[in-house]
Structure 1
Amino acid sequence: MIIYYKIKTKLVKKFMDIYDFHIYKIPNLKDKLFSKKQNIDIFFHTGAVNKQDIKLINITNILIVSSKKTKDIVSNNPKIKINDNQIFVIYPVVDIPKINKQDKKDFLKSRNLNKKTTILYFTAKEFKTTGVSSFLNIIKNLKNKNFVAIISGDKLQLKPTVSLLQEMGLSKKVILIQEDMYNISDIFILPTSNKLLSYSVLKAMSYKNVVFLPQTNSASELLDSFSIMNSSIDSSIGFRVDMLLESKGELKIYQKNNIKIAKQLTLNKQFKKLKKIIKNNKEVKI
């Protein structure tokens, strides 16, 4: 099989362990003049669809994309000639971690916080486009105060956040930290303006977090309607967060639902989907 990928994901690595393959080489001018034209059997696509991708998609038999939104973008692009029945959605693989409940208890105790305190969480590589200001506006307007918020990231992102907390009067309500804290958080809020699938959402779900995310982000395809924000500045989200803070029972229902979804995205289950796609496609030479 001839394959092409933009990122060597866990799914791609698993494929490479099992199947015989050659990686498609983008031809240079000499190749175009003297070499036989090749088609791609499987293109593992990730990220945005660029001009180079379009050229490769048009010589591809099976296109694997990471979201329904990307499939729609490809299907509706007049420059792309591939048929819908050649495009398949396989979401990114997520690992299901073992959650140690004691970690949260120890954290709350170390901060002199009540053991029943709910932890709201935000993290991102780039705070500005992923909505740290919107996150802070949401928590500032919550009526129920039985929570603590954690923002984690690198020093460059955290440094300007300190003054932002002071301006908004939230210094005592928000903890800034460099390590990921998915393992102790209860509710993950990401009011991002980014449209590409946010892997942090899948990771939060795997750690049994309730997740709130704008509908414009591709990861929203995996969420219950309750968890989807109309936009990155959707003020109504505060009412829903307050409801979860008031009712631990409701919180647990949505947490269990998210971990159930995340368990469908493990490497074994996603690879089974890929094998079935390959088996059912006669154009692919195994």
Structure 2
Amino acid sequence: MMSITIDFKTPSTITDALLEMPEYEKVAQTSLMNKIGLGSKEQAQLYFHQGALDKKSTHAILHAHATIVNSQRSKAKLLQILNELDEQSVEVIYPTFEPQEIDIKEAKKAFLQELQLPKKTRLILFTASNLKTAGVKEFIQTIMSLQARNFRVIIASDKQQITALKFQISKYNFDDTLILYEDFHNMDLLFAVSDIFVLPTHNTAFSTDILKAMYYKSAVFTTANSSSCEVVDVFATMSDPSDASLPFKIDALLSRKEDLKLIKKQNRKIAKKFILSKALQTLVRISEPLKL
């Protein structure tokens, strides 16, 4: 049986996993075809599209058996631009991740003990590779507006981002509420011990961190401009990064244990549908006609 060919601009967790499977291979490239803007001596059967639409990606999309995009918004935009494209040939598979096996309850207990915090302390997490565009300013403003006192705030990123943040927030009085982590060794653990994840992002791209937080049983909030809002409900969707209703929502969850517990359980159930193994099952289904 011949291999199923795939192509993409940028590798991802999904494409990396597919290329480890014997029945898939990346379409062969030739320098001559690259020069004329097509980039392949043959067209991939599955094309993974993200980012700007250019001549090369347009050609690949129109000649692929199926095009994979990472949000409903991306699909709608693609169909709007390429009128000749068959809607049935475009599939949405959200950016995915491979979760770690973590005992969430025990991890949270150990984490709070290490920080010498009461066992009922709630943890609110904010993390991003670019804190500014992810809405750290708006996040800080939200935290300063909270009325509850039974929480701590974790902000995690690389050393450069955290160093810059320390200067930016020096005017605020956090007392002992804020915990900063530089290059934390296990981000999945931080998601697992947190109760609420807030991402008031200015970015439109889908953030896998939303799915990670949901999987590890966190309540989540993100902005309507982000494609990540496609996997959350109205309560979890912010109208913009400065949504004035967010502090009230977080305060409500901090004071209502049963409501927070229910949301955590629901989020876990939703996120399980989007882990790597589920995404690969979807791709195998899409690939079935190509194996004939």
Normalising to structure 2: TM-score of the pair?
0.87
Cα offset, 1:105, TM superposition: 2.4
Aligned to 2:111: 107
Indicate the SS of the match to 1:168.
Answer: coil
Equivalent residue for 1:64? 68
Question: Counterpart of 2:147 in structure 1: which amino acid?
Answer: K
Identity %: 30
Q: Which runs of 5+ in 1 are unaligned?
A: none
Aligned match of 1:271 = 280
Within 5 Å, which residues of 2 pair with 1:91-102?
A: 91-97=94-100, 98-102=102-106
Q: Report the secondary structure of 1:166's partner residue.
A: coil
The residue number in structure 1 matching 2:268 is: 259
Which amino acid in 1 is paired with 2:276?
L
Q: Secondary structure at the match of 1:76?
A: helix
Structure 1 pair 117–61 and aligned structure 2 pair: CA distance change class (3 A)? same
| Structure 1 letter corresponding to 2:222 | L
Report if aligned partners of 1:195, 1:216 keep a CA contact under 8 Å in 2. yes
How far did residue 188 of structure 1 move? 0.3
Tell me the alpha carbon deviations over residues 128-166 of structure 1, each in whole angstroms, 9 at most, x when there is no partner: 100111111111001112111000111111112223333
* Alignment partners' CA distance in 2, 1:100 and 1:37: 49
Task: Find out whether 1:192 has 2:201 as its counterpart.
Answer: yes
Looking at structure 2, the residues matched to 21 and 147 of structure 1 have their Cα atoms a distance apart, in angstroms, of 48
Residue 128 of structure 1 is aligned with which of 104, 126, 132?
A: 132
Counterpart Cα distance in 2 of 1:257 and 1:89: 22
CA distance 1:26–1:226, change in 2 (3 Å)? farther
What is the CA–CA distance in structure 2 between the aligned matches of 1:128 and 1:172, rounded to whole Å? Answer: 23
Post-superposition shift, 1:195?
A: 0.5
Deviation at 1:267, TM superposition (A): 2.6
Cα deviation for residue 58 of structure 1 reads 2.4
Number of the residue aligned with 1:81: 84
Match of 1:227 in 2: 236
Measured in 1, the distance between the counterparts of 2:260 and 2:160 equals 33
Whether the 8 Å contact between 1:118 and 1:148 is mirrored in structure 2 is yes
Q: Find the counterpart in structure 2 of residue 12 from structure 1.
A: 15
Deviations 1:34-63 (A, max 9, x none): x99733311022x31331422322222210
Do 1:96 and 1:262's aligned partners in 2 also have CA atoms closer than 8 Å? no
Q: Kindly tell me: are residues 276 and 103 of structure 1, through their superposed partners in 2, closer, same or farther at Cα, counting changes over 3 Å?
A: closer
- Asked if structure 1 preserves the Cα contact closer than 8 Å seen for 2:95 and 2:206, the reply is no
Could you tell me which of 146, 150, 169 is aligned with 2:173?
Answer: 169
CA distance in 2, matches of 1:30, 1:50: 16
**Could you list the runs of 5+ residues in structure 2 that have no partner in the other structure?**
none
The structure, 1 or 2, with the larger RCO (C-alpha pairs under 8 Å, 6+ apart) is: 1
- The question of whether the paired residues in 1 share the 8 Å contact of 2:33 and 2:41 is answered with no
Q: Does 1:242 align with 2:251?
A: yes
TM-score by length of 1: 0.89
Between the aligned partners of 2:90 and 2:43, the Cα distance in structure 1 is 16
**Distance change (3 Å), C-alpha of 1:149 and 1:36:** closer
Alpha-carbon shift at residue 201 of structure 1 (Å): 1.1
Change (3 A) 1:153 1:31: closer
Q: Deviations over 1:113-133 (max 9, x none)?
A: 221010000010001100111
Q: 2:121 aligns with which of 107, 117, 124?
A: 117
Q: How many residues align?
A: 280
Counterpart of 2:29 (choices 5, 25, 29) is 25
User: Which 4+ runs in 1 deviate beyond 4 A?
Assistant: 29-33
Q: Distance in 1 between matches of 2:34 and 2:104?
A: 58
- 1:57-105 deviation per Cα after TM superposition (whole angstroms, max 9, x unaligned): 2222210111111111111114x63211110011222333323423322
Which amino acid in the other structure matches residue 201 of structure 1?
A: I
Structure 2: distance between partners of 1:106 and 1:264: 28
